[in-house]
Amino acid sequence: MSSTAASEVTCDLLLDGGTVITLDGDKRVIDDGAVAITGTHIVAVGDSTELDQHRRAAKRSIDCSGKVVMPGLTDGHTHLFQTLGRGMGDGLSLVPWLRRFMFPYAKTITGEIAAAAAQLGALQAALSGTTMVVDNHYGPTDTETTLAVADSIESVGIRGAVARGIFGDPNRGGEIMGVAPELFPWSNDEELSITKECMDARPSGSQVEVWPGPENIVYVTPELIAASAELADNGNVRWHMHCSESASEIDFFESIHGIRPVAWLAREGLLSHRTTLAHAIWLDDDEVAAVGENTSTAVHNPISNQYLASGVLRLKPLQQAGANVALGSDGIAVTGQDMFEAMKAGTLLHRVHHLDPEATTVEQFVEIAATGGATMTGLDAGSLAAGRQADVIVVDVDKVRHTPWNRPVASVVHCGRAADVEMSIVGGKIIVENGKSTVVDEDEVRAKATEAAERLIADADLSGLTQGWFSPGAG
């Protein structure tokens, strides 16, 4: 640190004495480190002795010995409105999962129920060390509900983007995929004007932004996808879309358009740093190169992809080509709002897929979850360095399962649990302390969501999916 006088190096908050996983340019992991925060930003990171002047003047100092201090994680792809369907579609592959579970759920859910679901999901994210979520919201998507979902995310203190699900004019892709016609309530023009209205209410730079989210490359018309990308450009935000998740979707798209999905995006000039593709699994070599050249984001959802047996993202080729890779949970209806689980699942998935324990590193997955997420959203966070946004988490590793404390990053990924997260800080504000939300009453959020779930399951006639012992062939 510089030799400025002690009085000049005061800070609001000093996280002192922990193992600091910085993800900075030098990828420093500092034993007995400290992070100083003033206002919304990090002002210094170093070993404890270097930050001695901050220590003397800090307004608040927190002893982080026995803990890890690391950047907050980004969930790059989730569906918070699905939170009330926790566990219900298990054992179904993607198309039956959509037809028997998610489409009835999505066409029945009301705005009020969706907002309660989103708050519960966002709360789980906050408690799990996720400081930013990209929420692909598609039920229902009127202006009022979309903005209520954004409010739900903000209410628990985290950052977010609501990628508003856009369906538009009914089309051949929707028919082939068996998408419920009720999910196409608006024309292409109406979709664009509602999305624009929501983006104006929560413009670029808001704590929770609204992005265009053309729902799926197969069942949104090409014109509407192109117009969504343009809307994102004009609003200086990202746009988000399910793309090439299952092999059958490639066949569907090719049968309609005569070209592979990502090849089409490339041909139309729709790949840019603003393009964020959820899944992006079934890409050929040319498509991988195109995503890389344009520094677009592929959001890897390793748990969802195993759960629905969709396939395995081409991680190494994408990263080598220059693509940004972020990590997603894909929501609670699939697994859970838990990025620790996703980091571990991702690390292991590629090893068994390639029968090669060197196919991934734990460091790579911490980086994807933190830095990859920040790059995806355009936020100046995702690493701990002076000048960055203070989105920081403190993880308690003073536990049997982390003993002995030999290799910090490996322990966090392989032995860590979301429940180890003790503190979450977003833009300098403590939103979780001692593992509890400091901004909402957790019991109240749970009670409201439980009541909403009961109504939804009855109204959507989904009680068959809540049976004690489920057999996928039945019903």
**Which residues are CB-neighbours of 356 under 8 A, at least 6 positions away?**
none
Tell the smallest beta-carbon distance from residue 337 to Zn ion (Å).
Answer: 13
CA distance 129 to 73: 6
Nearer to Zn ion among residue 330 and residue 396 (C-beta):
330
Nearer to Zn ion among residue 330 and residue 341 (C-beta):
330
Nearer to Zn ion among residue 75 and residue 330 (C-beta):
330
Residue with tokens 């203190």: 157
The full 3-state SS of 281-302, as one line of letters, equals: CCCCHHHHHHHHHCCCEEEECH
Q: Which residue is nearest to Zn ion (CB)?
A: 330
Tell the smallest beta-carbon distance from residue 141 to Zn ion (Å).
Answer: 15
| Total residues interacting with Zn ion, rule: CB under 5 A | 1
CA distance 292 to 299: 13
* Distance from chain centroid for Cα 361: 20
Tell the smallest beta-carbon distance from residue 38 to Zn ion (Å).
Answer: 38
Tell the smallest beta-carbon distance from residue 92 to Zn ion (Å).
Answer: 15
Binding mask 424-463 for Zn ion (x = CB under 5 A): ----------------------------------------
Distances (CA, A) of 276 to 21, 145, 217, 301, 402: 26, 23, 12, 13, 35
The full 3-state SS of 2-18, as one line of letters, equals: CCCCHHHHCCCEEEEEE
Residue with tokens 């053309």: 214
Burial class (CB in 10 A: 0-12, 13-18, 19+), 180: middle
CB 104 within 8 A of CB 89: no
Tell the smallest beta-carbon distance from residue 279 to Zn ion (Å).
Answer: 7
Note the helical H segments in 164-308: 172-177, 188-201, 222-235, 247-257, 261-267, 285-293, 302-307
Nearer to Zn ion among residue 155 and residue 301 (C-beta):
301
CB 280 within 8 A of CB 299: yes
Tell the smallest beta-carbon distance from residue 210 to Zn ion (Å).
Answer: 17
Tell the smallest beta-carbon distance from residue 43 to Zn ion (Å).
Answer: 37
Tell the smallest beta-carbon distance from residue 285 to Zn ion (Å).
Answer: 25
CA distance 155 to 241: 25
Nearer to Zn ion among residue 191 and residue 330 (C-beta):
330
Tokens of 293: 């050249």
Nearer to Zn ion among residue 252 and residue 389 (C-beta):
252
Handedness of CA 358, 363, 365, 371 (dihedral sign): negative
Interface residues for Zn ion in 112-141 (CB under 5 A)? Answer: none
Interface residues for Zn ion in 321-340 (CB under 5 A)? Answer: 330
Nearer to Zn ion among residue 307 and residue 426 (C-beta):
307
Tell the smallest beta-carbon distance from residue 197 to Zn ion (Å).
Answer: 24
CB 427 within 8 A of CB 40: yes
User: Burial letters for 353-375: b for 16+ Cβ neighbours within 10 Å, e otherwise?
Assistant: eeeeeebbebbbbbbbbbbbbbb
Return the closest-CA partner of residue 109 out of 79, 139, 147. 139
Using DSSP's 3-state secondary structure scheme, residue 444 falls into: helix
Tell the smallest beta-carbon distance from residue 353 to Zn ion (Å).
Answer: 21
Tell the smallest beta-carbon distance from residue 246 to Zn ion (Å).
Answer: 12
Note the helical H segments in 325-460: 339-354, 362-367, 373-377, 408-415, 442-459
Nearer to Zn ion among residue 135 and residue 330 (C-beta):
330
Nearer to Zn ion among residue 282 and residue 409 (C-beta):
282
Nearer to Zn ion among residue 82 and residue 389 (C-beta):
82
Interface residues for Zn ion in 261-290 (CB under 5 A)? Answer: none
Nearer to Zn ion among residue 16 and residue 330 (C-beta):
330
Nearer to Zn ion among residue 95 and residue 386 (C-beta):
95
Nearer to Zn ion among residue 188 and residue 335 (C-beta):
335
Tell the smallest beta-carbon distance from residue 307 to Zn ion (Å).
Answer: 11
Tell the smallest beta-carbon distance from residue 102 to Zn ion (Å).
Answer: 9
What are the φ and ψ backbone dihedral angles of 32, each rounded to 5 degrees? 50, 55
What residue ranges bind Zn ion (CB under 5 A)?
330
